[in-house]
Amino acid sequence: MVQMDEAARLTSRMAVPKKSLGLLELQIQKLMRAWKTIQFDLRPFHFIFAADNGIVEEGVVRQSQDITYLQARNMMLGLSTISCFCQSNNIPWLVVDVGIKREESVGLNRKVRQGTRNFLKEPAMTAEEFQRAYDAGCEQVNEAVRQGHNILSFGEMGIGNTTTSSAVLHALSGISAEFIVGYGANPAFPEVIQRKRQVIADAVRKYKEFLRTPQDIIRYVGGFDIAALCGAMVRCGELRIPFVLDGFITAVAFACAAKIHPDVARVMIPSHLSKEPGMKYALALGGINEDEVPIRAGLALGEGTGAILELNILRTMLYTVAHIDQMAHLEAEAMEACRAKSS
């Protein structure tokens, strides 16, 4: 409670009409409350968890799985949108390969398997494979904290992962696939969305008796990227390290993580509202209202692009609060010196 009062006190010093910075003020307060002690410099790190998904065999996407490998490679070479976003904001980034369908790894090799299995035919992964992907996410958070980073952001890369995310959300929430399954990267092909909805509904029905926990759900119908994201977010909750959420896939991982560990929602800061219809439902499962999301830009790329934009907002707000607090201290010291001199 003391720290919560301190966060409110610091933002109240800004020379602006009350609540005129709206959601930005609430976000910077949440950031300061997430830390064990309030800090005035942002030291971010961005992770992209990459993996392929066996469910693409069922015609739920039109893109080639080779894109996962090629784009992840572009990210590491600095030739992708997310790498440009990170470079322009001086934010270090890393691709963590937890399951790209290539013998060769990209970025940091934490490859569990070369893609998950087709979950319409069999569980997407074994219990051991789930744990390895989950632990890979935890490991990255531990290492980032060891290096002195005090805020993280997460993105993903993997052809077919809007299908796996929708399947996880459908199983986790019980909401009809008709409401949560979007077009993903195939807006011009309505037959693809119909196929996605059918595959997801059939698979969740098939495994219904086994889907008791978020971990079970990810294991049966999710992806290695979602498992790693979930593990990373749970670890952030345990360590009280704030993290910035990106779009739909990361929101589904967040919904799972928030059910596993209650502190996850306290350290999560949303960035943008994805065009995917399931986004608002995933946020709601973690206790976050869509009105708490600041960026409405129609983003649907993934990779963490929205999260990097949000880090820039947070950095600007944190600088403002810190600068005004410093000026207030100097003014108070000057006035005290004047009073001492006059007496």
pLDDT tens-digit map of 21-50: 999 999 999 999 999 899 999 999 999 999
Alpha-carbon span 216 to 194, nearest angstrom: 25
What's the alpha-carbon Rg for the chain, to the nearest Å? 21
Residue of 144, 132, 127 whose CA lies nearest to 217: 127
Structure tokens at 336: 């005290």
Which of 200-209, 238-247, 334-343 comes out lowest in average pLDDT?
A: 334-343
Alpha-carbon span 114 to 60, nearest angstrom: 19
Q: Which residues are catalytic?
A: 303
Instruction: Record the pTM.
Output: 0.93
Query: What b/e string do you get for 135-152 counting C-beta neighbours within 10 Å, with b at 16 or more?
Result: bbbbbbbeebbeeebbbb
Per-residue pLDDT at 296 exceeds 60: yes
What is the CATH class of 41-326? alpha beta
DSSP class of 183: -
- Torsion, Cα 126 131 136 137, to 10 degrees, reads 110
Which of 101-110, 130-139, 141-150, 324-333 comes out lowest in average pLDDT?
A: 324-333
Of the pLDDT bands very low, low, confident and very high (cuts 50, 70, 90), residue 326 is: low
Hey, how many other C-beta atoms are within 10 angstroms of the C-beta on 340?
Answer: 8
How close are the terminal C-alpha atoms of the chain, in Å? 38
269 and 312 in contact (C-beta within 8 Å)? Answer: no
- CA–CA distance from 159 to each of 72, 296, 301 (Å)? 11, 24, 12
